[in-house]
Every structure is written in C-alpha cells, then in structure tokens.
Chains A and B, each alone.
Chain A
Amino acid sequence: MSDITYLPGKEPHENEHRLIFKNVDRKGWDPKIRTYLAEGGYEMAMKALKMKPQEVIDEVKASGLRGRGGAGFPTGIKWGFIPPNNTKPVYLICNCDESEPGTFKDRYIVHQDPHQLIEGMVISAYAVGAHVAYIYIREEFPEAAIILEKAIADAKKNGFLGKDIQGSGFDLEIYVHRGAAAYICGEETGLIESLEGKRPYPRIKPPYFPAAIGLYMAPTIVNNVESLCHVVHILRMGGEEYIKLGTPRNSGTRIVCVSGDVKNPGYFEIEVGKVTFQELLYDMCGGPKDGRTLKAVIPGGSSSKILRCNETFQIGRGDDAEEMTFWQLPLDFDTLAAAGSMAGSGGVIVMDDTRRMSWILNNITHFYAHESCGQCTPCREGSTWMKKVSDRIEDGKATPSDVQVLEDIAYQIDGKTVCAFGEASAWPVEAMIDKFRDELVGETSDDNDTRSAERIAQEQFLSSVPQ
C-alpha cells in the first residue's frame, strides 16, 4: 500500500487561483465519475461537441494558452498546424511522462482528478479531429495508470467516450500507454518513437514536426496533461474571459511546484505573472528553514538556468527596460526568459546557503548523463564528460582549468544536437559556472593531478627508459 498523504481539506493559499487544482486535496472529493458529474463534469465536452471544431480551436487561440510541458508554445496555434488537406488519421497524445526534475503537478491531476483530463482530451480530440488518443504515462506511476484506465472505462460506460458520443456522431477511444522510466520519452518525438514500440530516439525537426508527421507518420498533437486540462476551463469561461487571467501574452493560471530548502514546499496554482518570487518563496512557502538564507533558485525544472537570489536583472528593452531584483521577478514565461532562464515546466527548486554548488552541479550532471538517449555524439559524450569533470570537482581532485573545460563542453553541446535535451543538459552547467564560478574554482587546486592512473603509469615508464 502506498502511503501518499493527500491533504484533504488543506486550504489553498490566498495568492492562489485554482482552476486545474480546484479539486485537488478537496474535502469529500474522490476521483470517481459520480463525483465529477455531480459538479457539472463533462458539460464542457458536450458543449464542444455542439460547436464546430474550428470554433473550439479559435476559442483556444483566443485564450492565449501556452503549453505547460516546458516549451511554452501556444496550444491553439499548434493545433492549427495540422495540414488542411490531410487524409491520414489524426492522433492526440497526452504527455504524462512528467519527469523533469522539480516538477510534480501532473501526478496530482491524474491521481485525484482523472476525469478532468479525459474531458480535456475529448474536447481537444474533437477540435483536432482525432478518433484515437493515447495517454503516455511514465512507468513510475503504476497506480495512476490503473486510475486512468478505470476512469476511461467509466467515462465509456456513461457515454462520454467510444462510438457516437452522446449522439454527436463523434467517436473517440482513449488508451493508456505506459513508458519505461526514460526521461527522454517526455520529448514529444521521442515519445512518439516509444509509442511505436521502438527506442525513444527523438526525430529531427524539421521535417518531423509531430503536427505534420507524427505517430505512424500521421499528424499528431502532443500536449501536456496540464495544457489539456486548461482547455476545459477555456470553454467554460470563454477565450476572451480566460485571457484576462494572468498577464498579457502569459494568460491563465499555472501550477508551480516548489521543492528544496523552504519550510513548506508544495504545489501552488497561481495566475501567470501575478506572483513574484518574494511572494512565492516567503509568503506561500514560509521562507528558508530557520537560521538559513536562500542562495539560489532553479525556476523551471532542472533544465532551466539557475538564478542567484542576490542578482539583479534588466527586464525589457530600450526605454521600457526595468531593473528588477530576483525577488521582484514575476513568474511568467517572458520575464523569466528575459532574465536568462525559462519558466519551463514550473518546477522551482530552492537551495539555501548550506548547499555547495559543486555538489548540486554534480547531481544534475549525473541525471543528464544517465538520461541522454545516446543518439547524437555531442550529447551522449558531452553529458558523460560533464559528469566526469564534475565528479572530479566534487571529489576535490580538479584543477582550476577543469572549470573552464566543463564550460567548454557545455557550449559544445548547446545547439548542436537532434533534440532539446542537448540544451537541457548544457544550460544548467553553463549557468552554474556563469553564476558560481568563484565557488567552483575555490574547490579546485593547482596542485591536483588530473592525470589518469594509466597516464601516470605510462609517464613513469617512459621516464624510466634510458634515452
């Protein structure tokens, strides 16, 4: 038996604006279809089925919804990329491979509110014209896979899935497909390869943009769990109303997941851009643990660039440029991009002054070395080299030039790989060296010998041979 402590009755913080997480931790809530229907569940799916697919797409476009999986690409625009003269079947895939370190939002949706996801998928599938949809769920969510399959069966029994849904003439089947513990299956083309029963080697873009050539070489829309859930609320509120949430170009709400060195880590659904780091980390998470100060924050999953807590940033261009401290930064896509990082998947990892950056860096490089799929050389070799050099720094056996070597490797990966994993592995290293170079160099010494044991033996032998 799992001992997951859902917190029924835990009140959302006053800064929160809950749409997607409305039912998470709610007293008296359970994932059964009865509970969901009692609160107007599947009404939006019924409403969508009475609209034209293009009207649904237009509504989502009007909402300005940006994908919550990591890249932040506008969802409505992505749906519009399906070739108009397409004759092949269209597929919808829900990306539930939540494996970006620091992110833990999809877990709660699929465990506690699976019908919200299914309703979002019905609407989305109808909009893009898909009759088969897959939920690609990571292997480490075995219970969630069972919950989802049960929810799908229940939805089918109630006529919200299957043939001729509620007399609309629209057919949809949803299947659950379990992954097998590989991070790269989160990358959409890697996911598609995995769903085809192969190794998840990502495909090169162009030409393999999934919306044109995806699963079984047919047009495919891949969306994150949270993105698909937002569609339900967009239909309920209307795109015009939804875009008023959050800030311009960064509309809606999003779930940020805070972990690491704060008193109360957890998940918070906020209006995008309406909450600053000060409010998030102090008011909502209770600030640092007693007697400590916060040192650095990774703002959007471990692939995003780390920020120092004592940094100031120039946000905006020209006359609009504004100086902001780290604490004043609002959590939205554009500000974090302007600050040199990204909002990514919403996973905020906090580190306080007791943390050594070489140790943090070492942990991160181990993750990427383990998870590189190995298809392209800069990433496969580079991620392993970065791991080895950071091992050396962490072991106190490095020389100051090793920090430079590490930086060079990172810049050699960045931009030279098949998929964005290359950047995902290089950015954290680049940023860490950029922001904490002195600390890392401080862990090295000129006296250290970085030669391998073989090299030392070889040199000793050569010097012993008479000339």
Chain B
Amino acid sequence: MSSKIEAPRPRSIDRSKLSYVSPSAPKDREVPKPRLIDRSDVEYIRPVLTVLEKNVHSPVTPGVVHFPQFKITPTLEKAANKRIAQYPDDQRRSAVLPLLHEVQHRHGFISPESIEWVAEKLGIAAIKVVEVVTFYPGFRQKAPGKLHFRVCRTLSCAMGGSYELMGKLCELTGIDRGSADTHKDPISVSPCGSYSVEYAECLASCGTAPVCLVNDDFHEGVTPEKAESLITQYES
C-alpha cells in the first residue's frame, strides 16, 4: 500500500450562470396527490389525532379492548377537582400524580389525550405531564391485560422463588417474555389481551415472599405452585 494519499481538491462551482428556480411549481408539471390510505377496516381507538399523539409513544396492545376509551366525564371532572383541592391554589401542579392515577384507574393506561386533559386542567404545559408519565414506573402508556400481574423480583422474593413464579405465570398465560426488551418495555401482554405481567421492586411484604399484585389486589406467599390457582381465582 502506498503511504501517500492524495487529498481530493475542492471543486469550485461557478454559480454565476445559475438561475434560480421559482418556488411555485410550474403549471405543466403534475403535482403528486397525497396518497390516501384506506383506513375503513382499522378500528379506531382514538379518533382525534392530537399533537401529542404524534410524539408520545402509546402503542396499541391486545389488552386495549378491556378498557373504555378516554373520555372526559362529569365523574372524572368531579374526582379531579376533589384532588386539585388538596393543594394550595397556586400549586395546582401538585395534582399531576393524583390526576394521572384517576385516569389510569379508569382507562387502564395514560393516553396522549388524557395527558393533554391533565395539562389543561392544571394550566401547565403538556410536556410537564409527559415528563412525569415517562419517569414513574407506576404509569403506563399502553394497555395492560385485564389482569395485570406485578411480581416482586427483589431479594427476599427472588430467594423465595419469584423468578420461577414469573416463568410459570408466563407459561400459563401464553406470554412470551423471552424476546421482549423488558428494559424499554417492562409490561408484556398476552396475545388474548386478558393477562399481562411486569416485575415490580420490593412490595414491602418481604416476610411473606414471594408476593405479587394482581391489579389492585395483593397476594402473599405465591409460590410458583400457586400460580395456577391465582389465575383461576379471577376467572370465576
């Protein structure tokens, strides 16, 4: 190999002969029409496309059928106002977490419209709500299953067999966690949409390990052998 490499000389362009193309397109050229996608067979979950919807990640999962679409109802407004009243008048922003809980409790997950609603309700920029939603593991932006299992994976529970419990739950509900990037997306939903699983950190009941939360219900001493009865208990 030769050690001497010739550097390319910069080409000088003579721009004096260039005439500028006018920005408006010439009449004779055909302007391409925007392609219309036929969405008639797509089931819409959110008919209004908001600014946030384009920017906030909120993928559709099979679990979405179990949760009513986000809607501003008088009961939601009333619950929200009650929460807002807990904080000083000039500190409405404090109600971000309570309001998001109200939404998630009713609708299963935090959708872009609900973020805009919370922001509007509190008189803050939507990004301030988004930053909260994306930080806390307790808020999710996609629908979980109808039964959402949160298995504690921290030390005492892991010693008691919580990893095996998770394996068993996945096996019984048909969830494939092996291929999932659980760091980016901790929740795995079963294809049928009825179940979802997630690891939680210490649920503060280490003495009765392993423990797990099913939606809002707490279960202690759930050894892997009890996984099946845990699921069937909810099916009746």
Contact = CB atoms under 8 A, between A and B. Distances in A.
Most buried by A among B97, B128, B136, B200: B97
A175 B136 contact: no
Interface stretch (A56-64, A178-186, A272-280, A429-437): A178-186
A381 interface: no
A142 B102 CA distance: 12
A154 interface: no
Nearest to B122: A197
B132 A197 contact: yes
B159 A351 contact: yes
A404 B101 CA distance: 44
B205 to A, nearest CB: 5
Interface stretch (A27-35, A37-45, A360-368, A395-403): A360-368
Given A182-B137, A197-B95, A355-B159, A4 B218 contact: yes
Given A5-B208, A257-B207, A261-B159, A181 B200 contact: yes
Given A143-B216, A349-B155, A367-B154, A258 B135 contact: no
A259 B206 contact: yes
Contacts of B88: 132, 216
B202 interface: yes
Contact of A178 (B93, B101, B137, B206): B101
B228 interface: no
A4 B220 contact: yes
B119 to A, nearest CB: 11
A293 to B, nearest CB: 16
Nearest to A369: B183
* Chain B interface SS verdict (over half): mixed
A360 B157 CA distance: 12
A261 to B, nearest CB: 7
Nearest to A96: B204
A99 B202 contact: yes
Nearest to B221: A5
B156 A142 contact: no
A373 B206 CA distance: 24
B155 A101 contact: yes
B42 to A, nearest CB: 32
Contact of B204 (A106, A142, A182, A258): A106
Contacts of B87: 175
Contacts of B213: 140
A140 B206 CA distance: 14
Contacts of A196: 91, 93-94
Contacts of A355: 159
B136 A180 contact: yes
Most buried by B among A143, A194, A267: A194
Contacts of B100: 180
A178 B83 CA distance: 11
A337 B139 CA distance: 38
A180 B207 contact: no
A221 B213 CA distance: 31
A120 interface: no
B131 A104 contact: no
Contacts of A366: 153
Contacts of B154: 101, 302, 363, 367
Interface in A280-324: 298, 302
Nearest to A3: B219
A347 B204 CA distance: 10
A139 interface: yes
A258 B206 CA distance: 8
A466 B1 CA distance: 9
A366 B136 CA distance: 17
Nearest to B136: A180
Given A104-B205, A199-B131, A266-B207, A180 B139 contact: yes
A305 B139 CA distance: 32
Interface in A170-211: 175, 177-183, 194-200
Contacts of A68: none
B96 interface: yes
Contacts of B139: 180
B203 interface: yes
B219 A2 contact: yes
B107 to A, nearest CB: 16
A3 B212 CA distance: 11
Most buried by A among B93, B155, B201: B155
Interface in B100-117: 100-101
A180 B137 contact: yes
A367 B216 contact: no
B138 A175 contact: no
Interface in A240-290: 257-261, 265-267
Nearest to A134: B86
A104 B211 CA distance: 12
A373 B207 CA distance: 27
Contacts of A98: 204
B167 to A, nearest CB: 16
B143 interface: no
A364 B200 contact: no
B209 interface: yes
15 contacts: A3-B220, A5-B221, A99-B201, A101-B155, A101-B202, A102-B155, A139-B136, A139-B138, A177-B94, A178-B101, A180-B137, A180-B138, A198-B93, A363-B158, A367-B154
Interface of B: 1, 86-88, 91, 93-98, 100-101, 122, 128, 131-132, 135-139, 150, 153-156, 158-159, 200-209, 213, 216-221
